[in-house]
């Protein structure tokens, strides 16, 4: 049937239809140039100007109408499409803005951004050397550089689509190393396994346990001290208890830079316990890993070289741009490939004319894998390790300045002195000051942060996150790391919190 259908189409098509491409290159390139002008104006000029809004808040129904999101049978003219580009830019949150403090990504590095544009234009799939010769070699070199900062002269690694995936990879590798039969026989052939982590760890530990069939009930939370650091003695006790209950402990996932408070677990002590029980030690350094560039602050990760795996997101503190997430391994036995390979012969032929070890696609559970190394490589080339160190150190200086200024103002109450660049605090409006002992104080305090957040979003002046934690009611968490920040932005932040909350 297929050949007959093809012949029918051929009969109906004109000679010009068959000889001309469907895409007009001249028109396409003109449109792209005009779209880039809009991007430069709306995103990279207005979007980084402190005089402009961080966001143009609209309710969902209104925004959907403004954007006219439906797709149709026929295409639209160029001018209308360019207006759509402008509208998307206008109504999107400006994450490069100096007053975007909402998440652990933000700001912009222009060298990295050039790498991101180039990545998109090349549209490369990073799985074989024949398809991606430049990026196979580049990824290997960038991973080698990151491993050296960890303290490993050898090892392996891969860029993953986000830190959650890196953490899940580590779980999968740890399980495979202990029970390689899981790859062929599945989880039914395994004993009940147990994972140990801090209650302050990223939620991807729980998601990974569910996704891999380990089960949420087998994620065991270890006690933390009053700062949120995992207590090694309780880890040891809980491992022994798990063994006595018939489970097989196989992984400890510890933190270097917790999401909320920016806490670093005592890696050296945890490594001692992992050595004692022969467990895989994984360090989630997605947020805090960049301290390894700093001579002043790398002590926060003392002992990281004793880990089996490290997850690190340069798209966070280094501002490499989403997404740039590396999983680093001490392993030199090709464990990644052994665990994840499916040996697809249409891709990974073993009789190729070049070294087939350069075909790295079978290290990943993905087939299509985006190039995430170029943005980091180009930025690293531009500023060097010394430039990245300066950024890390400057972020610490901004955090310390913010804390010192809070101490001088009424109404700002720190949860604790930060050891990283997460500054967590309550704003106490004048109406609640001096009433800490009243029965409904905590209930009222819990409502302050959500109202201030709503006001700043609707006015578009800045964005900062809030959350509860354990028995602590809603508080703000501001992270200061963007290379676009100055002390004026720190002062603006405090002034704006006061302005938005003083009448509550």
Q: Measured between alpha carbons, how far is residue 308 from residues 65, 174, 253 in Å?
A: 51, 9, 10
Partners of 470 in beta bridges: none
Whose tokens are 């992984």? That residue is 251
Nearest partner of 107 among 406, 398, 468, judged by Cα? 398
pTM of the predicted protein model:
0.94
Three-point CA angle 158, 222, 285, nearest 5°: 25
Nearest-Å Rg of the Cα atoms of the chain is 26
What helix, strand, coil percent values describe the chain, rounded to 5?
50, 15, 40
Per DSSP, helices labelled H in 53-162 are: 60-67, 78-91, 110-122, 133-150
The β-bridge relationship of strands 156-160 and 193-197 is unpaired
In the chain, the percentage of residues whose pLDDT exceeds 90 is 95
Nearest partner of 256 among 168, 194, 317, judged by Cα? 317
- Positions of the chain with pLDDT lower than 70, given as ranges: 1-17
Report d(CA 89, CA 96) in Å as an integer: 12
Whether the upstream peptide bond of residue 323 has omega within 30° of 0, thus cis, is yes
Long-range contacts of 134-140 (CB under 8 A, 24+ apart): 135/371, 135/373, 135/374, 136/358, 136/360, 137/358, 138/373, 138/374, 138/377, 139/360, 139/371, 139/373, 140/360
Cβ neighbour number for residue 346 with a 10 Å cutoff: 5
Q: Which two tokens stand for residue 432?
A: 């609640």
**3-state SS string over 299-350?**
HHHCCHHHCCEEEECCCCCCCCCCCCEEEEECCCCCHHHHHHCCCCCCCCCC
Looking at residue 14, what is its pLDDT?
56
Cα-Cα end-to-end distance for the chain: 73
Report d(CA 145, CA 142) in Å as an integer: 5
Strands (E), 84-235: 100-101, 156-160, 193-197, 219-221
Nearest partner of 231 among 260, 205, 195, 200, judged by Cα? 200
Contact 291/300 with Cβ under 8 angstroms?
yes
Looking at residue 6, what is its pLDDT?
59
Q: Which two tokens stand for residue 194?
A: 């147990």
Contact 155/336 with Cβ under 8 angstroms?
no
Cβ neighbour number for residue 22 with a 10 Å cutoff: 5
Looking at residue 453, what is its pLDDT?
98
Looking at residue 20, what is its pLDDT?
81
Neighbour order of strands in the sheet with 422-427: 100-101, 463-469, 472-479, 422-427, 412-414
Looking at residue 19, what is its pLDDT?
78
Looking at residue 388, what is its pLDDT?
98
């Amino acid at each position: 049937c297929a050949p007959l259908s093809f012949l029918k189409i051929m009969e109906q098509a004109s000679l010009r239809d068959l000889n001309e491409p469907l895409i007009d290159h001249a028109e396409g390139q003109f449109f792209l140039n005009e779209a880039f002008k809009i991007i430069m104006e709306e995103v990279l000029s207005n979007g980084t100007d402190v005089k402009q809004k961080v966001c143009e808040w609209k309710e969902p129904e209104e925004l959907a109408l403004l954007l006219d999101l439906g797709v149709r049978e026929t295409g639209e003219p160029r001018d209308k499409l360019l207006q759509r580009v402008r509208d998307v830019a206008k109504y999107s949150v400006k994450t490069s803005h100096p007053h975007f403090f909402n998440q652990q990504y933000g700001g912009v590095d222009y060298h990295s951004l050039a790498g991101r544009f180039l990545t998109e234009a090349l549209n490369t799939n990073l799985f074989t050397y024949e398809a991606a010769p430049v990026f196979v070699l580049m990824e290997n070199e960038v991973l080698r550089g990151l491993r050296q900062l960890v303290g490993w002269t050898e090892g392996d690694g891969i860029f993953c689509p986000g830190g959650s995936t890196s953490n899940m990879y580590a779980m999968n590798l740890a399980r495979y190393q202990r029970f390689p039969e899981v790859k062929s026989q599945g989880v039914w052939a395994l004993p009940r396994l147990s994972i140990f982590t801090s209650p302050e760890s990223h939620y991807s530990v729980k998601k990974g346990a569910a996704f891999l069939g380990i089960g949420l009930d087998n994620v065991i939370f270890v006690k933390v001290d009053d700062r949120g650091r995992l207590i090694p003695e309780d880890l040891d006790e809980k491992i022994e208890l798990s063994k006595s209950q018939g489970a097989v402990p196989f992984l400890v996932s510890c933190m270097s830079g917790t999401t909320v408070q920016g806490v670093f677990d005592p890696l050296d002590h945890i490594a001692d316990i992992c050595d004692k029980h022969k467990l895989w030690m994984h360090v989630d350094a997605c947020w805090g890993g960049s301290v390894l560039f700093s001579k002043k602050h790398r002590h926060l990760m003392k002992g990281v070289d004793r880990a089996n795996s490290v997850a690190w997101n340069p798209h966070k503190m280094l501002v490499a741009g989403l997404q740039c997430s590396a999983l680093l391994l001490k392993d030199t036995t090709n464990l990644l490939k052994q665990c994840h390979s499916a040996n697809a012969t249409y891709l990974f032929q073993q009789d190729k004319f070049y070294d087939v070890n350069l075909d790295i696609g079978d290290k990943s559970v993905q087939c299509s894998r985006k190039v995430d190394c170029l943005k980091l490589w180009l930025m690293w080339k531009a500023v060097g390790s010394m430039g990245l160190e300066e950024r890390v150190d400057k972020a610490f200086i901004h955090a310390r300045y913010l804390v010192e200024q809070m101490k001088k103002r009424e109404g700002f109450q720190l949860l604790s002195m930060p050891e990283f660049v997460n500054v967590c605090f309550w704003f106490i409006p004048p109406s609640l000051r001096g009433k800490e002992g009243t029965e409904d104080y905590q209930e009222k305090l819990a409502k302050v942060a959500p109202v201030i957040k709503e006001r700043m979003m609707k006015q578009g002046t800045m964005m900062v996150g809030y959350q509860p934690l354990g028995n602590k009611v809603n508080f703000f968490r501001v992270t200061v790391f963007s290379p676009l920040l100055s002390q004026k932005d720190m002062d603006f932040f405090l002034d704006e919190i006061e302005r938005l909350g003083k009448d509550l």
